[in-house]
């Protein structure tokens, strides 16, 4: 299992990220925070968003992040600012390992937002602060994520989005997901994690 951040950076650089240019969309960014784990594995930080009325990603597993604001010069600034606001983790620029493909929601009821993932490598697990925006957090190793990949049935609220990429009406849905410690990681978050696991295999 790869635990060398220099090699991770090199692999990301060898796979130029695809960019989405959709008219009339919002821009957003998320941070994938990696830390070394036992046995040479890598752990990845997830958050579960707090329940909020009118939030299509309310209560779902996600990465720290959000929409670009006026004060953000770049989407990297967005990812770093949102991570600090949501988790209290300050991501320094030299911790950046690279960028992944832009993603756009598959379901039309979701906001028209293009999400850019940024990957960061930290030498130790940072303390995750409690904030109003985050209900809980989870550190999951890449090996655990690979082992937990499967298909699950979930309950979807009307118009809700799943982890940034599901949604589309209430009722039960069968989705591809990772299930770690009882937390279901699906939707756009799953769409970000899956190619990362392939890249770092």
Q: How far is CA 194 from CA 64, 154, 158, in A?
A: 17, 19, 26
pLDDT of residue 68: 96
pTM: 0.89
pLDDT of residue 53: 64
Domain limits of the chain? 5-199
pLDDT of residue 170: 63
pLDDT of residue 14: 95
pLDDT of residue 164: 42
What are residue 121's DSSP bridge partners?
34
What are the average pLDDT values for consecutive 10-residue runs of the chain, which has 201 residues? 82 95 90 95 95 68 96 98 97 97 79 93 96 94 97 71 45 93 95 96 88
pLDDT of residue 59: 81
CA dist., res. 201 & res. 199, Å (int):
6
CA dist., res. 5 & res. 172, Å (int):
40
With 0-12 / 13-18 / 19 or more C-beta atoms within 10 angstroms meaning exposed / middle / buried, residue 18 is exposed
DSSP secondary structure, 46-112, as one string: EEEEPP-TT-TTTT-EE-SEEE--TT-SSHHHHHHHHHHHHH-----GGGEEEE---B--SSTTS--
pLDDT of residue 160: 39
User: Which CATH code of 3.40.47.10, 3.40.50.12240, 3.40.50.2000, 3.90.79.10 fits the domain covering 5-199?
Assistant: 3.90.79.10
CA nearest to 96, candidates 113, 87, 83: 83
């Amino acid at each position: 299992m790869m635990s060398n951040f220099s090699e991770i950076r090199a692999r990301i650089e060898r796979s130029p990220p695809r960019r989405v240019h959709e008219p009339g969309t919002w821009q957003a960014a998320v941070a994938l925070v990696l830390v070394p784990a036992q046995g040479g594995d890598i752990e990845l930080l997830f958050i579960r968003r707090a329940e909020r009325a009118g939030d299509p990603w309310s209560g779902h597993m996600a990465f720290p992040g959000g929409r670009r604001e006026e004060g953000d010069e770049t989407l990297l600034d967005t990812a770093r600012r949102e991570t600090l606001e949501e988790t209290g983790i300050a991501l320094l620029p030299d911790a950046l390992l690279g960028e992944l493909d832009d993603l756009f929601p598959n379901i039309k009821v979701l906001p028209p937002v293009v999400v850019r993932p940024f990957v960061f490598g930290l030498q130790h697990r940072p303390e995750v602060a409690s904030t109003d925006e985050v209900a809980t957090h989870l550190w999951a190793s890449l090996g655990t994520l690979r082992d937990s990949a499967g298909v699950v049935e979930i309950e979807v609220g009307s118009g809700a989005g799943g982890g940034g990429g599901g949604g589309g009406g209430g009722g039960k849905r069968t989705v591809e997901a990772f299930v770690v410690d009882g937390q279901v990681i699906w939707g756009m978050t799953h769409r970000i994690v899956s190619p990362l696991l392939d890249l770092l295999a």
